[in-house]
Chains A and B, each alone.
Chain A
Amino acid sequence: MSLDTATVRRVANLARLRLDDAEVEKLQAEINGILGWIEQLQAVETDGVEPMAGGSPNPVALPWRADAVTDGGQADAVLRNAPDREGEYFGVPKVVE
């Protein structure tokens, strides 16, 4: 499977990455190289194999904590690293006209 320029642009769009034409061309070649190499996985017989989703070698049920509020009221700590804030909110460009 080989990606064309339009597909690279579509994926960049999904990933919210602004790419210039030179980057698109470079990434297209690199990604196609990597995908070509990954293609060998198709040769592995995997019928009936349960996919391994997590990283644990001894899968156990993940614990659940009680569905209760455990903290809060830390707006200043939460906002301290924000590039822009307005009062107790993150500041962003106007979203709704």
Chain B
Amino acid sequence: MNGTELTIAEGLRALDKREISAVELTQAHLAGIAALNPRLNAYITVAGEAALEQARASDARRGRGEAGALDGIPLGIKDLFCTEGLRTTAASKILGEFTPPYESTVSAQLKRDGAVFLGKLNLDEFAMGSSNTTSAFGPVENPWSRANDPSKRLVPGGSSGGSAAAVAARIAMGATATDTGGSIRQPAAFCGIAGIKPTYGRCSRFGIVAFASSLDQAGPVARSVEDCAILLRSMSGFDPKDSTSANLPVPDFAAACGRGVKGLRIGVPAEYTLPGLAPEIDALWQQGLDWLRQQGAEIVPISLPHTKYALPTYYVVAPAEASSNLARYDGVRYGLRVAERDSDLRDLYERTRAAGFGAEVKRRIMIGTYVLSAGYYDAYYLKAQKVRALIARDFTQAWETVDAIVTPATPSAAFPMDEKQDDPVTMYLNDVFTVTANLAGLPGLAVPAGLDGQGLPLGLQVIGRPFDEETVFAVGAAIERAANFTAKPQVMA
């Protein structure tokens, strides 16, 4: 049995029937990592010995009839989740050799359910980016390449680029990720896999390195919608250690994948038809809506009038929160310290932060500090919070007429790693379809739906009502069934 080819659902069945052991499954993935990671750079840290030990313990649990919901499934953990005793970097130099003395709630819950951790996955520094090129540990390569130019190396998207590349390349069965403006959905779409950012509050943020606290949400990426549902169930739930975590029951998300879409009303927002949208993205979108119509859904045109203000709103709110959150990196309590012999405390702060943060992080700290500074707070930050409220209200009004919204996931397929990225605003446009769900706190799922003319994957996005991930999964699974996406990347285990 080829362990790296299995989905999580298939892997759990194979483990149950003793067709494969957790140790064999883990060994197959570690072999894949050894072969492919030198090229893909998806993992920052590989924890092979610990993973095998966890796998042996898992096999023993299964032997005793005590297997948990994810027992023996090898996963990768985005290196933004604190893992007790395992270095956590946020892909930044400023965290140095930081080794957390505690475990994030999300990763603790995956461990509780028996998952095996293969290692820590690469990302954009502090999750700030859409290409995984801002990592202090080097860029990640997308395992897919263009049919007519296979030597051109492509980005996996970001910020969860290591998570998406590892899962697409079959060197993790699934992975944790986080999404502040599209960092789960955009890389999932670029790598031809599924990923969901759940409703804000569904997953605890405790132990996740903070970027923008009112936007950050954890979620899974995996090779099927059902696998995402299985992982999300383990990751979700109320946590007293995060005051914004929602005290609501966690549904059986996987069961919702089979519900079908008959009678559902699917909204199509007029404002998402951008001028200059690539014809093949538009064609895929129409195809997706046709599939849903054929399965009994009703397609309803809607309007989300403040959509065009979402990205500029995000680029006030996110840097403001980031500048505040990243103030903690001061060279005193953990991580890097840079000082001269005669440095005073202030000089120590300034040298440490100058040496420890990369260019994109510094840019966002500067913007955030400026928009929060005396005299500019009302004009920028308060204004953005008000526009954010209007963006959220657009969705609230839409839910009066529709049950879910379907849009493209990204405005393009994966682009080359060496493409000029010196205009930040152009790079920010990658998140044009995804950022609204973060601002409004809504669940959003990316599902692979087709290939472009170069053979690269393209995804569609399903947005749902607050805490109605079940409908999102039902619609996503319906698109997945119709799309029958079986294409595979050129680089895989």
Interface of A with B (CB < 8 Å)?
1, 3, 7-8, 11-12, 14-19, 23, 27, 30-31, 33-35, 37-38, 40-42, 44, 46, 49-58, 62-63, 65, 74, 77-78, 80-84, 90, 92-95
Contact = CB atoms under 8 A, between A and B. Distances in A.
A82 B332 contact: yes
B424 A27 contact: no
A55 to B, nearest CB: 4
B344 interface: yes
Interface string B202-227: 00000000000111110000000000
Given A34-B315, A51-B388, A15 B365 contact: yes
Contacts, number: 173
A21 to B, nearest CB: 13
B38 interface: no
Contact of B240 (A8, A38, A65, A77): A65
Q: Which of B214, B362, B366 gathers the greatest number of chain A CB atoms within 10 Å? A: B366
A46 B330 CA distance: 37
Contact of B369 (A11, A30, A33, A78): A11
Contacts of A77: 101
Contacts of B373: 11, 14
Contact of A17 (B347, B365, B438, B441): B365
Interface residues of B, number: 78
A77 B82 CA distance: 14
B481 interface: no
17 contacts: A7-B370, A11-B366, A17-B357, A17-B365, A18-B353, A40-B309, A41-B383, A44-B383, A46-B386, A50-B389, A57-B200, A57-B440, A65-B240, A81-B98, A93-B343, A93-B348, A94-B344
Given A17-B366, A38-B312, A56-B441, A90 B389 contact: no
Interface stretch (B12-20, B65-73, B163-171, B334-342): B334-342
A31 B201 CA distance: 32
Contact of B349 (A16, A46, A50, A58): A16
A31 B370 contact: yes
A53 B424 contact: no
B409 to A, nearest CB: 20
Contacts of B334: 81-83
Q: Which 10 A-B residue pairs are closest in the complex by CB-CB distance?
A: A51-B385, A81-B334, A83-B337, A57-B441, A55-B214, A57-B466, A18-B350, A46-B386, A52-B389, A18-B354
Interface string B41-52: 000000000000
A12 B348 CA distance: 14
A20 B130 CA distance: 27
Given A17-B366, A27-B363, A46-B383, A53 B440 contact: no
B192 interface: no
Interface of B: 96-99, 101, 199-201, 213-217, 240, 243-244, 246-247, 306, 308-309, 312-313, 315-316, 323, 327, 330-337, 339, 343-351, 353-354, 357, 362-363, 365-367, 369-370, 373, 379-380, 382-390, 392, 395, 423-425, 438, 440-442, 466-467
A83 B97 CA distance: 10
Contacts of B213: 55
Given A41-B383, A55-B201, A81-B99, 13 more contacts: A7-B370, A17-B362, A27-B366, A33-B424, A38-B315, A38-B316, A41-B313, A42-B383, A51-B386, A52-B385, A55-B214, A57-B395, A81-B97
Contacts of B353: 15-18
B307 to A, nearest CB: 12
Contacts of B244: 54-56, 62
A46 B346 CA distance: 40
A2 B132 CA distance: 30
A65 B245 CA distance: 14
Q: Which of B365, B387, B392, B442 gathers the greatest number of chain A CB atoms within 10 Å? A: B387
Nearest to A28: B366
Q: Which of B97, B247, B313, B442 gathers the greatest number of chain A CB atoms within 10 Å? A: B313
Contact of A56 (B201, B344, B365, B380): B201
Contacts of B336: 83
A14 B362 CA distance: 13
Contacts of B306: 44
A23 B380 CA distance: 24
Nearest to B306: A44
A35 B101 CA distance: 40
B345 A95 contact: yes
Contact of A49 (B348, B380, B389): B389
Contact of B425 (A34, A81, A92): A34
A62 B241 CA distance: 12
Nearest to A80: B101
Given A34-B315, A81-B99, A92 B348 contact: yes
A62 B315 CA distance: 26
A18 to B, nearest CB: 4
Nearest to A62: B243
A94 to B, nearest CB: 8
Contacts of A31: 363, 366-367, 370
